[in-house]
Amino acid sequence: MATNDPTRTTILRRDFRGAYNAMWARVERRLWAAVEEMPAYLTRTEQIQYFERNLREILTAEAAELEASPARGLPSLLQAAYMQGLNLANFDAKQAGIEYWEERERPQVLVQQDDHKDEIAALLLLLLSDWQGIQQASQAQAMRAFVDSLDAGDAPGAMRAKVRDRLMKIGRTRTGLMVASYVVAAVNAAILARAQ
């Protein structure tokens, strides 16, 4: 069985964690821009509804963009990690004198993600389920921070800090853990697929 390359796997985790951290910062900026445009005449209930609606729309838009773009986001994460696993398995097999049919029939460079789309799709389904949980938890925490700050009569700067703190803690932390977990899972899935 292939020996995992800690350097390459660490780079994958770092790169994707950085991308998702940037996404959460973008969510916070867009959310606060919407809050600053909130009409002053709204009642407390209307302010909460306004905040909730904008937060939900922003998170939904970010998720749709991530899922729809195969060149980045969730599909890209799994494809890159899965192909890394295939490369590791191929390398170990070559060291042991084993050639896979794909390598005998055509150059390895032509082996595309499409050849393994079912395995990647299965991982993506699991990952999307976790991603939805992160979105829901982040939305709930940001809402709680907003309502608490509203009830405390916080100044705009203090309110933003509270909301940002909750978004970053739950969103960025859990996303980072998810990325690390699924990078390793996809690499290992590819290695196991090669071994079978």
Give the C-alpha distances (Å, rounded to integers) separating 150 from 50, 147, 166.
13, 5, 15
Share of the chain above pLDDT 70, in %: 78
**Domain enclosing residue 64, as ranges:** 6-195
Per the domain annotation, does 1 fall within a domain? no
- What pTM, to 2 d.p., does this model score? 0.73
Query: What is the overall mean pLDDT for the chain?
Result: 80
pLDDT of residue 44: 95
Structure tokens at 50: 């306004």
Region at 4 (left for phi over 0; alpha for psi -120 to 50; beta for the rest): beta
Over residues 69-85, the mean pLDDT reads 73
Per the domain annotation, does 73 fall within a domain? yes
Q: How far apart are CA 90 and CA 109, in angstroms?
A: 12
Q: How far apart are CA 77 and CA 133, in angstroms?
A: 18
pLDDT of residue 33: 96
Query: pLDDT digit string (tens) for 80-131?
Result: 888 778 777 776 666 666 655 454 444 444 445 566 777 777 888 888 888 8
pLDDT of residue 58: 94
Over residues 49-68, the mean pLDDT reads 87
Per the domain annotation, does 154 fall within a domain? yes
Give the C-alpha distances (Å, rounded to integers) separating 189 from 61, 123, 146, 180, 183.
30, 9, 41, 14, 10
Per the domain annotation, does 98 fall within a domain? yes
Over residues 11-35, the mean pLDDT reads 87
Q: How far apart are CA 14 and CA 8, in angstroms?
A: 10
Per the domain annotation, does 83 fall within a domain? yes
Q: How many domains does the chain have?
A: 1
pLDDT of residue 169: 86
Per the domain annotation, does 38 fall within a domain? yes
Query: pLDDT digit string (tens) for 143-183?
Result: 999 999 999 999 999 999 999 999 888 888 888 888 888 88
The answer to whether residues 142 and 134 touch, using CB atoms and an 8 Å cutoff, is no
